Amino acid sequence: MFPSGVNPSQPTPRLTFQTWLGRAKENWLTSVPDAERPTLKERLKGIGFHAEKRTGIRDPEFRKLPPAVQEAFSGNRFETLRAVYDEVTVDDMREAMDLPKTASIGP
């Protein structure tokens, strides 16, 4: 989705995005008054790319861990992990919308 600036046939490395996110957080922190920085820094702690979290939660090895461990690592209740992060197939969508298997979904 985001080709590398060095080799466009390869994706941009994850570390690049982490670096950019870290810089954005630091820039934001330096832009607020000194008195507000500790509160904002605490709020920003642990904020990252949602796609990374989704990928980690969908990892088969992570899914084998006990629910309590999954909750501790992800910061979400187990029910939320299943409801929000489970892979949804086209057939799942058709079934949820009560459509026949031959129905088209999307434009």
Task: Tell me, yes or no, whether 61 and 90 share the same domain.
Answer: yes
d(C-alpha 16, C-alpha 50), whole Å = 16
2 has pLDDT over 70: yes
The domain in which residue 26 lies consists of: 13-48
Query: How many domains does the chain fold into?
Result: 2
CA distances from residue 104 to 57, 61, 88, 92, 98 in whole angstroms, order as listed: 29, 34, 16, 13, 12
Do both 41 and 59 map to the same domain? no
Residue whose structure tokens are 């129905």: 103
% of the chain at pLDDT higher than 70: 83
Are residues 40 and 59 part of one domain?
no
Of 15, 74, 86, which Cα lies nearest the Cα of 46?
74
Residue 107 lies in a domain: no
Q: Are 37 and 59 in a shared domain?
A: no
Same domain, 54 and 95: yes
Q: Is the residue at 25 inside a domain? A: yes
Q: How many CB atoms lie within 10 A of CB 70?
A: 19
> Is residue 104 over pLDDT 70?
no
Higher pLDDT among residues 40 and 107, named by residue: 40
Kindly state whether residues 62 and 19 are assigned to the same domain: no
Q: Are residues 74 and 43 in the same domain?
A: no
